[in-house]
């Protein structure tokens, strides 16, 4: 359904730009000064006001070589227009003040991104809601999130990604494992051990190793918490970004540095179509911040 304002202005051939030109001329007192303020030519501003008068079938301004003044009709129209724009500005301010952007994530939100969103929220006047969804797109394609932080992206999804940075991997082993006493592990060594794989939000698959030397999957799970318990129970070893070693401890799991391991790409993801306007703004800021 068309709004009444849009329908009426469209029917009589009036555009919002003509309103702005008229208000600028009244406030500045001349077409020249109004044109400078609006960064338009004087002839463009003059034509806009003339077309507004023609559409309204009323003379709004008295023009003379000495001065520019409002006609009685123009005075009434100017007052009504100011009231209308006042309502519009209040509506926009109210909407912006309650704007919330939902950020989806799978298991641990990077600290770098948390700091970035805090600064963005202060500058843009927006609130963030952080939503955990243990899915391939962290709730983005299901509508639970407006943007998402993803580690690794499956091909063919209807999303747009902005690479942010890369994370190092660590190995995760049960405290009872023979590897637990090691200072570090070589990536290639892990192929000799059974693997615990998070098939939904994990970043480690057998395909990361050479085809002739890959680990066998001993246990599969669908989220990080299940993965951690499987490793703790010594069902196999695992590999995750190093953020897990810093923030997700478990008394029965030891995290070990990994050498020569492939890094994990961290990306900001948006829907290919119909993205939240604030999401586009966030993406642009993220590109500047992290690139």
**Tens digits of per-residue pLDDT, 27-46?**
998 999 999 999 999 999 99
- CB 282, CB 146: distance < 8 Å: no
Strands 147-151 and 100-105: parallel
Q: What is residue 14's predicted lDDT score, i.e. its pLDDT? A: 82
In 10 A of CB 281, how many CB atoms? 15
pLDDT digits (tens, 9 = 90+) for 180-222: 999 999 999 999 999 999 999 999 999 999 999 999 999 999 9
The CATH T-level fold of domain 4-97 is Arc Repressor Mutant, subunit A (1.10.10)
Whole-prediction pTM:
0.67
Extents of the domains making up the chain: 4-97, 100-165+266-290, 169-262
Q: What is residue 234's predicted lDDT score, i.e. its pLDDT? A: 97
231 pLDDT band, cuts 50/70/90, is very high
DSSP secondary structure string for all residues of 163-189:
EEEEE-EEEEEETTSTTTT-S-EEGGG
CATH (residue range 100-165+266-290): 3.40.190.10
pLDDT digits (tens, 9 = 90+) for 255-272: 999 999 999 999 999 999
- Alpha carbons 149 and 196: distance in angstroms, whole number: 23
Enter the tokens of residue 184: 């570090």
Pick the CATH number of 169-262 from 1.10.10.10, 3.40.190.10, 1.10.760.10, 3.30.9.10: 3.40.190.10
Per DSSP, 92 falls in state: H
- Alpha carbons 273 and 150: distance in angstroms, whole number: 18
In 10 A of CB 211, how many CB atoms? 7
The answer to whether the 4-97 and 100-165+266-290 domains have the same CATH topology is no
């Amino acid at each position: 359904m068309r709004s009444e304002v849009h329908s009426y202005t469209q029917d009589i051939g009036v555009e919002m730009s003509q309103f702005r030109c008229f208000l600028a001329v009244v406030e500045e007192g001349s077409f020249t000064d109004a044109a400078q303020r609006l960064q338009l030519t004087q002839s463009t501003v003059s034509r806009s006001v003339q077309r507004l008068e023609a559409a309204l079938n009323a003379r709004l301004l008295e023009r003379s070589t000495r001065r520019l003044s409002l006609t009685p009709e123009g005075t009434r129209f100017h007052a009504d227009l100011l009231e209308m724009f006042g309502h519009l500005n209040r509506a926009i301010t109210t909407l912006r003040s309650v704007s919330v952007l939902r950020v989806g994530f799978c298991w641990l939100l990077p600290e770098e991104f948390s700091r970035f969103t805090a600064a963005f929220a202060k500058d843009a006047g927006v609130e963030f809601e952080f939503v955990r969804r243990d899915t391939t797109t962290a709730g983005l394609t299901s509508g639970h999130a407006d943007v998402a932080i993803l580690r690794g992206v499956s091909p063919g999804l209807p999303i747009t990604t902005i690479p942010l940075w890369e994370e190092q991997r660590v190995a995760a082993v049960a405290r009872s494992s023979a590897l637990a006493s090691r200072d570090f592990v070589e990536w290639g060594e892990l192929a000799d051990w059974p693997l615990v794989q998070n098939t939904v939000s994990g970043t480690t698959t057998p395909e990361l190793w050479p085809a002739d030397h890959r680990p066998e999957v001993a246990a599969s799970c669908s989220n990080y918490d299940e993965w951690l318990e499987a490793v703790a129970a010594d069902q196999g070893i695992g590999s995750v970004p190093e953020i897990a070693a810093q923030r997700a401890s478990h008394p029965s799991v030891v995290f070990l540095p990994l050498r020569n391991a492939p890094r994990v790409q961290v990306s900001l993801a948006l829907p290919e179509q119909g993205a939240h306007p604030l999401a586009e703004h966030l993406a642009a800021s993220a590109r500047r911040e992290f690139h």
